[in-house]
Amino acid sequence: MRVEALSLREIFELKIFIPPYKQDYVWREKVCKELLEDIFSGFEGKMYMGSLEFLKCEDGCEIIDGLQRLGTLSLILKTLGIESGFGELGVEEEKIKKFISEKLREKVGIGECIMKNLEFCCVFYDSDDECPSFDKKQSKEQEAYERIKIYHLGKMIEKNEGEIENYSKKFDEIVQRADGRRGRKLFYELLSLGRVWIRDKSSERVRGDEGFSEWVYQEFCPNIGKEFERFRAVSYQDMGILRDFGEGRGFFEYLFYFDSLLDKVEEMSIWRELKKHSKYLRFIYELMMLVYLDKFRESNLAIAHLWIFRCVYSLPLQQKITRSSARDWGKELLAILYHSGSEREAIFRLSKKIESNKKKEKLKNKELYTIKTKEREQYHIPKFGGEQ
């Protein structure tokens, strides 16, 4: 895959095909009017017009996403006597040209402006397997994080931030790790659920819910209307996992940062043991460790991770582990950790959540819950219910 910022002139210099499986171009006066108004508002300078997706083929490129915009722009140019070479769209052009001509009256030089100043984030896929939009071959979740990536690359182009290729390449390297599971883990579990659970304790959102992937997209690409443009101030406090990463470069740096923290978690010996046991509690432990490392860096990591582990894995002593019980337990623990002002306060408050098991119930997979006696005594970590 390659990502480039291209002007409309450069795009029309490509040999673009409309694949047979694509939905036909549909002319809509309202869309054309809005597009022209956008062009008029940026008549004097560069204008970012969103993203386009292409699939490379033997003789050129097939358009995968963006047919309606490119089709409308080609008709506008045709009305001005400029041939785009985009191909036949199968519409009644004379009626459309009349509508466009009335809107373009007295707009001298608008054709050159459109060709030169309109800029797009163009994504070129090398094969249909690589393209998330192609023939619905990829899952909705994969499509969601590819859409998130393209959105923020487009914002980098819009803000002229540079290094687009580097950020795109690093993003791809992250999401493809662990046979493609790393991207899903960061987007659909740790970061998205961590953010919503801290903001809204009443939320029961979990991966797999209907509309989940679209909700994840909105979490990382919020659709904030122009009426809120004046409110640009960012919090003077570091909000941690809830921080406002903005649009463009800031989003990628946020993602890269938490990916590096997850690397540290996965290097820990306890984490390797957890891979064999409850996936629900492992997820809570990972999320807690990300928040801890972000808030307190590695201040007392050797001790703190044992306390966090001990607290998270005390749930089986209280009730059966299910998706909903793990979710509720995770929200409680996460709120304590996130809202604690110091590491000492966080560990103290977490320790209060550990309830002793009076029945001395025997635990399954007891070896998982056994912390070395030396470490437990040194750090004053309570025993689990079934430990001797």
pLDDT for the residue numbered 201:
66
d(CA 307, CA 350): 8
Give the angle subtended at the CA of 327 by the CAs of 322 and 333, to the nearest 5°.
125
Percent of the chain with pLDDT over 90: 16
165-217 residue pLDDT tens:
889 889 989 988 887 789 889 998 899 999 988 987 666 666 666 678 888 88
Least confident segment among 5-19, 21-35, 222-236, 362-376: 362-376
Please give the pLDDT value at position 367.
Answer: 66
| 47-57 sheet: strands from edge to edge | 2-7, 118-125, 47-57, 60-65, 16-17
CA 179 to each of CA 184, 275, 352: distance values in angstroms, whole numbers, following the listed order: 11, 16, 39
Element (H, E) at 67: helix 67-79
pLDDT for res 20:
66
| 64 assigned to some structural domain | yes
11 in a domain, yes or no?
yes
Kindly report, residue by residue over 110-126, the tens digit of the pLDDT.
888 888 888 888 888 88
Residue 61 falls inside a structural domain: yes
Residue of higher predicted confidence among 200 and 366: 200
User: Does residue 345 belong to any structural domain of this protein?
Assistant: no
Give the pairing of strands 47-57 and 118-125: parallel
Q: Which domain holds residue 63?
A: 1-136
Does residue 341 surpass a pLDDT of 60?
A: yes
Say whether pLDDT at 337 is over 90: yes
Residue 296 pLDDT exceeds 70: yes
Q: What φ, ψ does residue 143 adopt, rounded to 5°?
A: -60, -35
Average pLDDT, the chain: 80
As a whole number of angstroms, the distance between CA 248 and CA 333 comes to 32
Asked, for residue 363, whether it belongs to a domain, the answer is no
Higher pLDDT among residues 107 and 224, named by residue:
224
Q: Among residues 219, 307, 296, 304, which one has the least CA distance to residue 261?
A: 296
HEC per residue, 223-278? CCCHHHCCCCCCCCCCCHHHCCCCCCHHHHHHHHHHHHHHHHHHCCHHHHHHCCCC
Residues 6+ apart with CB under 8 A from 360: 385, 386
Residue 333 lies in a domain: no
How many domains does the chain divide into?
1
Residue pair 40/107 in contact (Cβ under 8 Å)? The answer is yes
Percent of the chain with pLDDT over 70: 82
In-domain check, residue 189: no
Q: For residue 106, what pLDDT is reported?
A: 66
Section 91-104 average pLDDT: 78
> Strand ranges (DSSP E) for 110-245?
118-125
Q: Is residue 105 part of a domain?
A: yes
- Give the span between the Cα atoms of 272 and 266, in whole angstroms: 7
Q: Rounded to an integer, what distance in angstroms lies between the CA atom of residue 65 and that of residue 134?
A: 9
SS3 content of the chain, % helix, strand, coil (to 5): 55, 10, 35
- φ, ψ at 342 (rounded to 5°): -145, 160
Q: Per-residue pLDDT for 134 more than 50?
A: no
**What torsion do the CA atoms of 268, 270, 273, 278 make, to the nearest 10 degrees?**
-120
- Of 63-67, 117-121, 287-291, 314-318, minimum mean pLDDT range: 314-318
Residue 259's pLDDT band, with cuts at 50, 70 and 90, is very high
Q: Higher confidence at residue 241 or residue 2? A: 241
